[in-house]
C-alpha cells in the first residue's frame, strides 16, 4: 500500500509546484490547490489520493469549457482560424476538414495565408488528404479579397462549411491584427453573422504568453473558441486552466500529432489527470 502523509503546507507547496511545472501559472496553481485543500488540512492521504483530488478540481474548472465546435444551420458556416506563427493552424484545418467530410458535410478551404513561403502548397496537400477543395490566391495578395471570393464560391457551391486559414501573427503586431479585423469586415459584407466561429489555435508548449494571445485575439478578431495543439508532446498545456478561469472560451479540440486523425475532443478528465501526472 502507498504511504500516507498529512496534507500540510509543505505538501501544498509541492502540489503548487507540480501545477506550475505544467504551465498553469502561479496564481491559478495557488487557487486550484487551495480549493482542493479546503476542509482537508491535516488529513492523511496517499500521493495518488491527493493527485486524484487535484485532478477532480481541475476537471471541475474545465468541464464548462469542453465543448465541440458548434454546427449552425447556415450555408456556408464560416470558420476562421487564427493564431500566432507555427501554432498549428494549417494542420488543424486539414484535420477538421477531414472530420467534417467524414460526417457528411461539404467543405471548402480558403488558403488565406498569402504571406508565408509554401503556405498555400502545404494547405493544398492537406486539402488532398481530406478530399476537400482549396481556394488559393497568389503569394502577397490581399487575404481579405481571397476570403470574399471564397465566400462567393462556397455560396455558389452550396457548401456546408468554409474554413479560412490565415497567416500566423504575433498579437503585439497591431498592423497584422488589423489585417485580421479587415478579413472579418469583408466576410461580413457577405453574411453579417459570419464568421460563425473564429478559432484561436494555441501551441501547448507556449507558457504564460497564451494569456496575452487570447486577450488580444479576442479583442481584435472575436475569438469564439480554442484548439490546443501538440498535446502529444511533453508539454501539459496547464495554461488552459488559467484561460478557462479568465476567459471561459470553449475548447473545441486538441491536437495530438501530425497525422490527419490526430485531433480529439477536449476531455476535461483526461486533461486534468495528465496535468497532475496521473495516468
Partner 1 sequence: MFENLSERLSGVFDRLTKQGALSEDDVRTAMREVRVALLEADVSLPVARDFIKAVEKKATGAAVTKSVTPGQQVIKIVHDELVHVLSGDEDPGRLKIDNPPAPVLMVGLQGGGKTTTTAKIAKRLKEREGKKVLMASLDVNRPAAMEQLAILGTQIGVDTLPIVKGEDPVAIAKRAKTQASLGGYDVYLLDTAGRLSIDDELMAQVAAVRDVANPRETLLVVDGLTGQDAVTTAENFDARIGITGVVLTRMDGDGRGGAALSMRAITGKPIRFVGLGEKMDALETFEPARIAGRILGMGDIVALVERA
Ligand X SMILES: Nc1nc2c(ncn2[C@@H]2O[C@H](COP(=O)(O)OP(=O)(O)OP(=O)(O)O)[C@@H](O)[C@H]2O)c(=O)[nH]1
- Choose which of 91, 98, 171, 224 interacts with ligand X (CB under 6 A): 91
Among positions 24-43, residues that touch ligand X (CB under 6 A) are none
Q: How far is the CB of 273 from partner 1 (least distance, A)?
A: 18
Q: Does 174 bind partner 1 (CB under 8 A)?
A: no
Q: Where does residue 279 rank: exposed (0-12), middle (13-18), buried (19+ CB within 10 A)?
A: exposed
The grid coordinates listed for 182 are: 479587415
Q: Which is nearer to ligand X, 116 or 246 (CB)?
A: 116
Q: At what angle do helices 239-246 and 47-62 cross, to 10 degrees?
A: 40
Choose among Mg ion, ligand X, partner 1, none what residue 256 binds, the Cβ cut-off being 5 to 8 Å by kind: ligand X
Could you give the string, one character per residue 219-238, with x where binding to partner 1 holds by CB under 8 A and - elsewhere?
Answer: -----------x-xxxxx-x
Q: Which is it for strands 77-82 and 197-203: parallel, antiparallel or unpaired? A: parallel
**Chain-centroid distance, C-alpha 153:** 27
Kindly indicate which of the ranges 60-68, 99-107, 210-218, 228-236 contains the residues binding ligand X, using the contact rule CB under 6 A.
228-236
Nearest residue to 32 (alpha-carbon basis) of 10, 62, 8: 62
77 SS3 class: strand
Q: How far is the CB of 3 from ligand X (least distance, A)?
A: 37
CA distance 190 to 212: 31
Q: Are 137 and 82 in contact (CB under 8 A)?
A: no
Could you give the string, one character per residue 70-109, with x where binding to partner 1 holds by CB under 8 A and - elsewhere?
Answer: --------------xxxxx---------------------
Q: Which is nearer to Mg ion, 34 or 118 (CB)?
A: 118
Q: Which is it for strands 44-46 and 4-6: parallel, antiparallel or unpaired? A: antiparallel
Choose among partner 1, ligand X, Mg ion, none what residue 250 binds, the Cβ cut-off being 5 to 8 Å by kind: none
Q: Does 90 bind ligand X (CB under 6 A)?
A: yes
Q: Which is nearer to partner 1, 29 or 108 (CB)?
A: 29
CA distance 229 to 87: 7
# binding residues, partner 1 (CB under 8 A): 45
Quick one: which H or E segment has residue 110? Answer: strand 107-112
Kindly indicate which of the ranges 28-36, 39-47, 112-120, 212-220 contains the residues binding ligand X, using the contact rule CB under 6 A.
112-120
The grid coordinates listed for 245 are: 478561469
Kindly indicate which of the ranges 26-34, 43-51, 88-96, 130-138 contains the residues binding ligand X, using the contact rule CB under 6 A.
88-96
Q: Where does residue 193 rank: exposed (0-12), middle (13-18), buried (19+ CB within 10 A)?
A: exposed
Cβ-based neighbours of 91, under 8 Å, separated by 6 or more:
126, 229, 255, 258
Q: Does 118 bind partner 1 (CB under 8 A)?
A: yes
What are the residues binding ligand X (CB under 6 A)? 83, 85-91, 113, 116, 119, 167-168, 170, 201, 229-230, 232-233, 255-258, 262
What are the residues binding partner 1 (CB under 8 A)? 17, 20-23, 25-26, 84-88, 115-118, 121-122, 124-126, 168, 170-173, 203-209, 211-212, 215, 230, 232-236, 238-239, 258
Amino acid at each position: 500500500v502507498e504511504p500516507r502523509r498529512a496534507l500540510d503546507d509543505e505538501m501544498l507547496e509541492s502540489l503548487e509546484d507540480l501545477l506550475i511545472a505544467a504551465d498553469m501559472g502561479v496564481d491559478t496553481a495557488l487557487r486550484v490547490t487551495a480549493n482542493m485543500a479546503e476542509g482537508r488540512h491535516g488529513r492523511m492521504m496517499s500521493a495518488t489520493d491527493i493527485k486524484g483530488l487535484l485532478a477532480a478540481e481541475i476537471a471541475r474548472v474545465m468541464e464548462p469549457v469542453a465543448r465541440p465546435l458548434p454546427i449552425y444551420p447556415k450555408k456556408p458556416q464560416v470558420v476562421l482560424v487564427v493564431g500566432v506563427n507555427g501554432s498549428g493552424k494549417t494542420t488543424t484545418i486539414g484535420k477538421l476538414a477531414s472530420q467534417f467530410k467524414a460526417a457528411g458535410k461539404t467543405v471548402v478551404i480558403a488558403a488565406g495565408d498569402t504571406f508565408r513561403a509554401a503556405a498555400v502548397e502545404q494547405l493544398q496537400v492537406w486539402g488532398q488528404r481530406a478530399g476537400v477543395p482549396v481556394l488559393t490566391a497568389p503569394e502577397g495578395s490581399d487575404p481579405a479579397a481571397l476570403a470574399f471570393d471564397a465566400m462567393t464560391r462556397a455560396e455558389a457551391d452550396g457548401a456546408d462549411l468554409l474554413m479560412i486559414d490565415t497567416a500566423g501573427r504575433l498579437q503585439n503586431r497591431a498592423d497584422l491584427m488589423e489585417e485580421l479585423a479587415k478579413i472579418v469586415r469583408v466576410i461580413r459584407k457577405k453574411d453579417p453573422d459570419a464568421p460563425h466561429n473564429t478559432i484561436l489555435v494555441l501551441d501547448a508548449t507556449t507558457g504564460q504568453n497564451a494569456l496575452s494571445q487570447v486577450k488580444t485575439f479576442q479583442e481584435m478578431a472575436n475569438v469564439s473558441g480554442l484548439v490546443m495543439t501538440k498535446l502529444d508532446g511533453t508539454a501539459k498545456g496547464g495554461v488552459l486552466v488559467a484561460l478557462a478561469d479568465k476567459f471561459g472560451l470553449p475548447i473545441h479540440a486538441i491536437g495530438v500529432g501530425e497525422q490527419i486523425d490526430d485531433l480529439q475532443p477536449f476531455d476535461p478528465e483526461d486533461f486534468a489527470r495528465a496535468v497532475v501526472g496521473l495516468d
